[in-house]
Chain A
Amino acid sequence: MRKQFVAVSLLALVGVVLAALAYFGPRTGVNGTGGALLALVGAACVMLGSLLAAAPVVRGGGLAALLILVGVGAILTAAAAFFLMQYGFAIAMVLTLVGLMAAAVLSWRESP
């Protein structure tokens, strides 16, 4: 288990929670909109992707491809959150991205 990616998934979980509040919460300005739902799904995918990256069975090229996908997902989700004017959510996704990059570097250094 790569614990650093578990930590990244927790950051993404914060994004999921904030996205859920934006979508389901009353009077957020974006509640019930397709854009907020898309961002919620994006944050959830980033979280699941980060968890998957923590699994030791994912290695080598597969891990690299997964991390690229999760990183792109985090960027797009952060952009979506920005245009939804959900700035806390956007910051959470940027931190997720930063965490993901840091975790990737750590993972690369630790690899035999």
Chain B
Amino acid sequence: MIRILTLLALGLVPAAALADQPAWTHFHGDPASTKFADVESFTPETVGDLERAWEHHTGDVSDGSGDLPATVWSATPVYANETLYLGTPFYRIIALDPATGEELWSYDSQSELAALTQPALKNRGVAYWEGGGDGPCAKRVYIGTMDAELHAVDADTGRPCDDFGDGGVLNVNQWNTVNDKFPFSLLQPPTVAGDTLLMGWAGKDWAYSVAPPGSLLAVDARTGELKWEAGFIPDDMIDQAGTANIWTAMTVDTELGMVYAPISSPSPNYWGGNRLEPMEHATSVTALDLETGEIVWSFQHVHHDIWDYDTPSAPTLIDIDAQGETVPAVVQATKQGFLFVLDRRTGEPLFPVEEREMPRSSAQGEEAAPTQPYVPNPPPMAPLEIPDVWWLADAASFGQCSRDRENFVYEGLYTPPSEEMTLFYPGTAGVTNWGGVAVDPRTDTLYVNASRVVQLIRLVPREEYEEIQGGSGNEQGYYPQEGAPYGIYLSGWRNWLGMPCWEPPFGTVSAYDLRTGERLYEEPFGRAQFNGFYGLEDWGTPTLGGPVVTAGGVIFIGASVDARVRALDASTGEQLWADLVEAPAVSNPAVFTHEGEDYVVFAVGGNSILKPQVADQVVAYRLPD
């Protein structure tokens, strides 16, 4: 700081130059969700020297053993206004000094700490907006709560912005007027587009057949006034189904004036006999006009979704240079493992998409879609066929895994859930999830971490379900799907020792050339961990969270079960550096330059989908002077 102030005083560093330093102002770094940091100091040669600059504990953590539900924290730190902002799973905003980690201020939303919709207290961070001008609330930070409030505070002081909503709090549930089964939980921060805040919401997964229909709400960043609202379920089906909501981040192209929304699957999620009519926007990436909310185009990547293959991450925008032409593209990574590369003006695929025949359903009243979209190139991020039985798990279970493979139903990708135990691959958390992909716009190269997890699913007939007293956890156990003829049972496919029954790797990191679709490499990533025991390097790890790529040719990523944060060589996927943190870092890191120094910051919170380990750690790294 002293060095920068001295340089400023001497006039050697124009003040405006500081404003041009690489920032990290959005959940995925920028409005285009590139997760690209224009920072050159982090290179394959230097990152081995990374050291902890500081560490901060928010205090907002629960392992679920006390009165509070467990916490799940996937907040990307936001760097703007020369401050680092974080939301916590106790729905507080914390402002930190990026150079020291010292807390500058905090704001407590006083939100009820109860698992109203999700099984845990969840937060994926805050949004930052500045509208020009000076004075209080010219710059704002927003946080949503599980009970559907959006709070706006001044970015410099943390004081509520009285002109927003009612005294700085917007009741978003006022727009929850159809099939109001649960509050609109605002776990994902709004996406900021100019003076507009774009919000989806999360609900109570797998609980109801008829649920609130998915909506995208656009509100004024200053007042909270509703500008427009868009829905994704046909009007004549609202009494039969629900959701098709947006629970993850969105992406904005201000030049084209469009927002790209990742739309989730409709309810009930694993049986669709009550919603057989086409729902063209469900499980899609959909482009809407930023001014009006009108749907410009929609690309459905799963027809009649009965696997909960939500569109899990914000699509990524990139201008691809190919065959002497620059095409504005949008890339959507999906749970089932495809990369869809579309012209973002029209939604037309830039790589051919085929419709392939898929298995039929045996469930009562169900009619699975006869075909599903299939992308041969770029190759899928994980094999589309279930991995072979792992000899080690099979031997350790005296053939249990082989017997399961033989006895359980499996007919390939998109095997419909049935009353028999069915192998479910990719599992519900998907090949990719909210971390999405990172792209280097200079080379049109895409980087992605991918999971290979097999689950078991069974449709439990209603009468049988009512007799079962089973509980549910975080995406494991029994779920009711009230109103459908079936509840569901979902679990991991493991042997009696808890070992995965399918062969490793369990997770990889890959790079793709978006000009040709060619996969440049695919390497096992990280290490799995179970009861303390680590897997071998070649086995990799399932992941939650995503990568960041830097101009210096380095990928930063947490995401692994083994609670490490890592730097990889972007050209090979080889690990260059790792550090042990207090839980799996299931958020995307933030990479930025502050006062002339480059930082990478991870929020380390954990997620019980990976393992029951939670934390409240924020840790920043930089290179030594």
Interface residues of chain A, those whose CB is within 8 Å of chain B, are 27, 29-30, 33-36, 80, 83-85
Contacts and interface: CB of A to CB of B under 8 A. Distances in A.
A30 B580 contact: no
B532 A35 contact: yes
Given A29-B562, A29-B563, A80 B533 contact: yes
Interface in B103-135: none
13 contacts: A27-B582, A29-B563, A29-B580, A30-B532, A33-B531, A34-B531, A34-B532, A35-B530, A35-B532, A83-B533, A84-B532, A84-B533, A85-B534
Contacts of B533: 35, 80, 83-84
Contacts of B534: 83-85
Given A29-B563, A35-B532, 7 more contacts: A29-B580, A33-B532, A35-B533, A36-B532, A83-B534, A84-B534, A85-B534
B616 to A, nearest CB: 14
Nearest to A35: B532
Contacts of A27: 580, 582
Nearest to A30: B532
Nearest to B534: A85
Interface of B: 530-534, 562-563, 580, 582
Closest 8 CB pairs of A and B: A33-B532, A35-B532, A30-B532, A34-B531, A83-B533, A35-B531, A35-B533, A36-B532
B624 to A, nearest CB: 22
Contacts of A30: 532
A29 B563 CA distance: 7
A30 B562 CA distance: 9
Which residue, of A27, A29, A30, A84, has the highest number of chain B Cβ atoms within 10 A? A29
A37 to B, nearest CB: 8
Contacts of B580: 27, 29
Give the interface SS of chain B, mostly helix, strand, loop or mixed: loop
A90 B531 CA distance: 18
Nearest to B582: A27
Contacts of B530: 35
A102 B16 CA distance: 73
A103 B438 CA distance: 58
B279 to A, nearest CB: 45
B68 to A, nearest CB: 20
A45 B593 CA distance: 53
Contacts of A35: 530-533
Nearest to B536: A83
A29 B560 CA distance: 13
A28 to B, nearest CB: 8
A30 B531 CA distance: 8
Contacts of B582: 27
A83 to B, nearest CB: 4
Nearest to B527: A85
Nearest to A39: B532
Looking at B530, B533, B562, the one whose CB has the most chain A CB atoms below 10 A away is B533
A45 B534 CA distance: 23
B229 to A, nearest CB: 47
A7 to B, nearest CB: 30
A83 B582 CA distance: 19
A38 to B, nearest CB: 8
A34 B498 CA distance: 13
Nearest to A34: B531
B318 to A, nearest CB: 36
A14 B596 CA distance: 47
A30 B563 CA distance: 10
Contacts of A29: 562-563, 580
A13 to B, nearest CB: 22
B500 to A, nearest CB: 15
A29 B531 CA distance: 11
A64 to B, nearest CB: 29
A18 B533 CA distance: 16
A84 B532 CA distance: 6
B26 to A, nearest CB: 31
Contacts of B532: 30, 33-36, 84
B394 to A, nearest CB: 19
B523 to A, nearest CB: 20
Contacts of A33: 531-532
A36 B562 CA distance: 15
Contacts of B531: 33-35
B226 to A, nearest CB: 47
Contacts of B562: 29
Nearest to B563: A29
B613 to A, nearest CB: 9
A52 B544 CA distance: 49
Contacts of A83: 533-534
A99 B346 CA distance: 73
B560 to A, nearest CB: 12
Nearest to B611: A33
A64 B575 CA distance: 46
A33 B534 CA distance: 12
Nearest to B617: A27
A35 B530 CA distance: 8
B506 to A, nearest CB: 15
A80 B531 CA distance: 11
Contacts of A80: 533
B181 to A, nearest CB: 39
B575 to A, nearest CB: 14
A4 B577 CA distance: 43
B374 to A, nearest CB: 39
A84 B529 CA distance: 9
Nearest to B581: A27
A33 B563 CA distance: 14
Most chain A CB inside 10 Å of its own CB: which residue of B534, B562, B582: B534
A27 to B, nearest CB: 6
